[in-house]
Amino acid sequence: MHHTSHAFANYYPLVNEGLAVCSRRNMLKAGLAGLAGLSLPELLQTRAIAAEAGKPMSHKSVILLWMTGGPSQIDTWDPKPQRPYNNRGPFAPISTALPGVVICEHLPKQAAMLDKFSIIRSVDPRKSSHQPNQVMQTGNREATPRTNPKGDRYPAIASIVAKHRGANHPSMPPYVAFQKHVSHVAAGGWLGRQYDPFMGNEAAILPQYDLVGKPLNRMTGANLFQLPGQLDMSRLEDRRTLIRDLDGIRSGLDQSGSMEAIDQYSQQAFDMVLGRRAQKAFDLSAEPERNRKRYGDHLWCQQALLARRLVESGVSFVTLDLSYHTASGTWDNHGIPGGVYGGISKGLKPLLPLFDHLLTTLVSDLEERGLLDEVLVIAMGEFGRTPNMGTQDSLDGRNHWPVVMSMCLAGGGLRHGQVIGASSDDGGSIKERPVTPADLAATIYRHMGVPLDGTYLDDRQRPRFYVDENGQPISELFA
């Protein structure tokens, strides 16, 4: 489904073939597997598109804050204060910078600057599930691996951006993800493995937490850019020359598209190692201390700072998997007795101030740097939660609810300071102005300059449209 292992792992370089103890083919595969001692070619899996002659390339980009597990619409952006407690939940509403609009009391920073955001309260997430999380990240309702055998083949919106548009700088990957688990983030699918996300977790030094969010007081190793002990830059150049000599041989080793990706991106891998641009972007120690303190030491906040650094350096799409847990996700607030997620009070409440700080700091930082009109920030999960609490033997948990959900957007040069759509009185259904996953995809594509009528080929060489289900850009954002 996803491909986060070494780029050349599938060549089994150390496995003998047939009766041969050490064949020429094994030698070649071992050479490819050890290319530069790096995992970059598969992890890049992307294409950077050069600017047209004489025309500067747009630096439009997207940062997706993926609230893994499905946040409650009622307990975040669509409060129902007049409803009975079992429906409205334990949180009070708070006034915002938009007259007459209220959101959850635990999002005070966003409330104070809600004029810079658009809240959509009528998102239609039908068929969306999690683990794997596909529908909302692909914009396609058929991307349901649990019920559709080919559900994982629908490409992520970010992967289509990577294919059509590439990165904003040729030495950067176009699609970067910080993921807790491979089932949380959509990938290239039918587009090919070269459009899977670059795994940012492996390139940055970040704090580690256990599955319930307890700090482990240690950092990740960030060994992606580290050369093996005996491989210096001169030897790296020698290997580049060797790879050029092997081009004719290796092109016949694999017919699945993997070799094409290597041919296309091995040069980019070398540029990343030798040019140092990507290494610098992933190096938080290069960020002024005052900025690091502003974001804070928490893992998610550090990832948000990295997201800003990455789009500033030329990445087109960054997805942050906001989850501690490798299963369904930290925002899956069932409140099941003995469960790890907790309900609304125990599970969701501690997340909201952290998320509030992360989101508003990121948007403010982008604005201060003159980047907010270029960078579209989106915060959402895969579905909403049930209007009534108390499901699955919990007192205040809410179950999955792929009927209606809320999300928020900022930046991208779009029209903000508004609420789009509405849910029913109990927050359990869409009352007006439904927004589909395809509408979201079309909105992102318009922002990124991707043609809405573009197509790709599936495994039977049939064209499939980038935008499914007659999706249209959300018109209120472009008015």
Give the pLDDT of residue 259: 52
| C-alpha span between 421 and 151 (Å, rounded) | 29
| pLDDT confidence tier of residue 336, bands split at 50, 70 and 90 | confident
pLDDT digits (tens, 9 = 90+) for 17-30: 333 334 443 433 33
User: Max alpha carbon distance in the chain (Å)?
Assistant: 77
Q: Over the stretch 75-127, which tens digit does the pLDDT of each residue have?
A: 999 999 999 999 999 999 999 999 999 999 999 999 999 999 999 999 999 99
Tens-digit pLDDT profile for residues 122-158? 999 999 999 898 999 999 999 999 999 999 999 999 9
| Average pLDDT score over the chain | 84
Q: What's the confidence (pLDDT) of residue 454?
A: 95
Residue 409, classed as helix, strand or coil, is strand
Reported confidence tier of residue 453, pLDDT bands at 50, 70, 90: very high
**What pLDDT, on the 0 to 100 scale, is given for residue 230?**
55
Mean predicted confidence (pLDDT) in 388-392 = 89
pTM, rounded to two decimals: 0.83
62 contacts 158 by C-beta, under 8 angstroms: yes
Q: Are 277 and 169 in contact (CB under 8 A)?
A: yes
Radius of gyration (Cα) for the chain, nearest Å? 23
Structural domains for the chain: 58-235+281-477 (3.40.720.10)
At 433, the pLDDT band (50, 70, 90 cuts) reads: very high
Structure confidence at residue 51 as a pLDDT band (50, 70, 90): very low
pLDDT tens digits for range 361-377: 999 999 999 999 999 99
Confidence of residue 421 (pLDDT cuts 50, 70, 90): very high
**Residue 29 confidence (pLDDT):** 36
Residue 341 scores a pLDDT above 60: yes
Query: Average pLDDT in the 344-371 region?
Result: 97
Pair type for strands 198-199 and 175-178: parallel
pLDDT above 80 (res 277): yes
Looking at residue 90, its pLDDT comes to 97
Confidence of residue 342 (pLDDT cuts 50, 70, 90): confident
Angle, vertex CA 392, rays to CA 390 and CA 394, nearest 5: 45
Reply yes or no on whether the pLDDT at 36 is more than 70. no
Instruction: In whole angstroms, give the CA distance from residue 443 to residue 466.
Output: 12
